[in-house]
Structure 1
C-alpha cells in the first residue's frame, strides 16, 4: 500500500464530529477554534444560550513532516452547536460556580481519492457527542478574568465503524479546561486551554492519544466593537494504539491556525462574533479552513 493510499484509509476509517486532527480517523472531540474574545470572563448569575455555527473545508492531508501526502481529499463539515450555561448564585473557593452542556448537530460530506480514483465517500447528518460540565468556577479581578472547568464528552453521536463519516466518536473524553482573559485600556488577550484524556473505541479497539490544545484571541475594543485575530494551536502528546500496540509511529498530530475576528456587543444584551481561520501549519492531519458565527444571549 503506498503512502497516499495508507493515509486515505486512515482518514476514511473515522472522520468524525466536525473537526479533524490526528488520532483515530483524523478527528477529535473538541472543535478547535470554537472560542474567541472574552472566553475567560464568565457571566453573572443566570441562564445563557450560545449558538456556534461552523463550516470546515478540508483540501489536503499532511504527513509527519507537514508535507502534502498527495491524497485527493474533499471534505465539508458543518455544525450547529447549542451551548447552555447556568451560573448559580453560589460561591466555591471564592469563585462563581456554574455549569454547562454543549449539544452539536453535524452534517458531514466528503470523498477521498488516490490518483483520481475514489477510495471512499459518504454523507451523513445527526446528533454529535454531547459535552457536559457540572463544575465551572470563575474568578474576576479588574483586568484579569479566569475560570476552570471539568468537562466530560459522552459518546451520544451515531457511529458505524464501516462508514466514512460519523457524527460520533464512540468513546468517552475527559477534559480539564482553563480559560483566561486579560483586558486593559481596550486591549484584550484571551485563551482557552484544554487537555484531553481519550477513552478507547471498543468497536475498533483503537485508543487515541492524549491531546493538548488551546484557542486564542487578541484584539482591541472600540466601544461595542472588538477587532483582532483568533485561532488555535493543537498538539497530540501521546501516541495512538490499536489492539494494544502503537499505531504507525503513534500518529501524533499538530496544527496551528490563525485568522481575522470581529465581535459586536449590542445594547439589547446579545453579542455576535465572526471568525475565519486557516490552518497554516499541520502534521499528520487534514488541513483546511474554518468559518465561525457565534451568538450569545441571556435567557
Structure 2
C-alpha cells in the first residue's frame, strides 16, 4: 500500500516549477528530481490526495563552475490536488491533477543582490493520466500536462519585477510524458521521462534581447527521474537520480544562441516513512554534471495526505 500511495505524488509533481536556468529564458518546466522515490508508472487507489513538495536549492550557482560569482538560492513549494475517480479508459486507470506552485529566488552577482522576491509560478494542469497494470508487477503510465501563462512575474516586458528575472515562465508549455515501474515485494524500480515544449515569448526582456523587447524561444527539453527503493516495514530507503537535457539551442529573434543548450545530472539518497494517516519522503541530490545551467545540490521534502 505504501508504494501505491506514494504513486499519488507522481500524478502532478512531474510538471511543476523548477530552478532558474541560465539557458532557458528563465525557468525549466520540470522541477528536477522532484519525482525521485515515487512509483512513476502507477496510480494510487481511487480517492482524492493532497501532496506538497518543499524544494530547496540552498547554495546554487549559475554557470559551469562553482567558482562563478553568480550565486542563486531558491525555494519552490508545490501544492498538488490529485483525483483518481476509479474509472478506466482504454483499459487503464485514470487520474487528473492540478497545482499552483510558488517560489522564492535570491540572485547575487558578485557581492551585489540583484533579485530577491516571492511569486507564483505557472499553474499546472494534468487533465489525463493513464496507468496500465501489466504482468510480473510492471506498471506503465502516460500523461499530458499543460502549464498556463499566468505567473505573477516573468521576463516578459511590462511584467518583470523591480529586480531579478521573475517567478515564472512567460509562455505556455505542453508536457507529454510516461513512466515505467516494477513494484515487487517492497521494491520500487522506476524511470520517468518528460518532454517539454514551450511557446515563444514575443516581448521578452531577457538580457540577450538588449534594450528592445524581442522574441525569445526556449529549446525543448527531455527530463528523466530515476528511482530504486525498498520498503521495510514503514520505512522506505533507496537512491534516486535525475537527468535534464535541452535538445535545442534557445533562439533570440529567430537566431540560435551559441552555448545555450543545458544538461545536468544528479544523484542521492531517498528516505521515507509511513505514519498511517500521512506519508513523508525526503530526497537529496548531489549534482555531478552541469553545462550552461543553474546548478547546486538540492533537497526535497514531500508530504502525501489521502483526503478520501
**Same-fold call, TM > 0.5?**
yes
Identify if the C-alpha distance between structure 1 residues 59 and 132 changes in structure 2 by more than 3 Å, giving closer, same or farther.
closer
Task: Return the alpha-carbon distance in structure 2 between the equivalents of residues 216 and 231 of structure 1.
Answer: 5
> How far did 1:138 drift?
1.2
**1:200-219 residue pairs with structure 2 within 5 A?**
200-204=200-204, 205-219=215-229
Equivalence for 2:46: 45
> How far did 1:27 drift?
2.7
Q: Report the aligned-residue RMSD.
A: 1.9
Equivalence for 2:299: 291
Equivalence for 1:140: 133
- Structure 2 unmatched runs, 5+: 1-16, 205-214
State which of 125, 131, 143 in structure 2 corresponds to 1:149.
Answer: 143
1:22-50 deviations in Å (ceiling 9; x for gaps): 53345312211111222322112211110
Identify if the C-alpha distance between structure 1 residues 146 and 22 changes in structure 2 by more than 3 Å, giving closer, same or farther.
farther
Q: TM-score, normalised by structure 1?
A: 0.85
**2:280 is the counterpart of 1:280:** no
1:190-233 deviations in Å (ceiling 9; x for gaps): 12210001111122111000100111111222122110111200
Equivalence for 1:126: 119
Q: TM-score, normalised by structure 2?
A: 0.83
Equivalence for 1:248: 258
8 Å contact from structure 1 (residues 53, 78) kept in 2: yes
**1:64-213 residue pairs with structure 2 within 5 A?**
68=65, 70-113=67-110, 118=112, 121-141=114-134, 143-161=137-155, 163-204=163-204, 205-213=215-223
> How far did 1:69 drift?
7.8
> How far did 1:79 drift?
1.6
Task: Return the alpha-carbon distance in structure 2 between the equivalents of residues 216 and 253 of structure 1.
Answer: 19
The count of aligned residue pairs is 273
8 Å contact from structure 2 (residues 54, 300) kept in 1: yes
Identify if the C-alpha distance between structure 1 residues 182 and 208 changes in structure 2 by more than 3 Å, giving closer, same or farther.
same
- Structure 1 unmatched runs, 5+: 1-16
8 Å contact from structure 2 (residues 26, 165) kept in 1: no
Equivalence for 1:225: 235
1:124-153 deviations in Å (ceiling 9; x for gaps): 112111110111111123511221110001
Task: Return the alpha-carbon distance in structure 1 between the equivalents of residues 62 and 168 of structure 2.
Answer: 21
1:61-80 deviations in Å (ceiling 9; x for gaps): 334xxxx2853122111121
1:48-100 deviations in Å (ceiling 9; x for gaps): 1100011113443334xxxx285312211112111111112321110011111
Q: Secondary structure at the match of 2:276?
A: coil
8 Å contact from structure 2 (residues 186, 230) kept in 1: yes
> How far did 1:18 drift?
4.1
Identify if the C-alpha distance between structure 1 residues 89 and 184 changes in structure 2 by more than 3 Å, giving closer, same or farther.
closer
Task: Return the alpha-carbon distance in structure 2 between the equivalents of residues 70 and 220 of structure 1.
Answer: 38
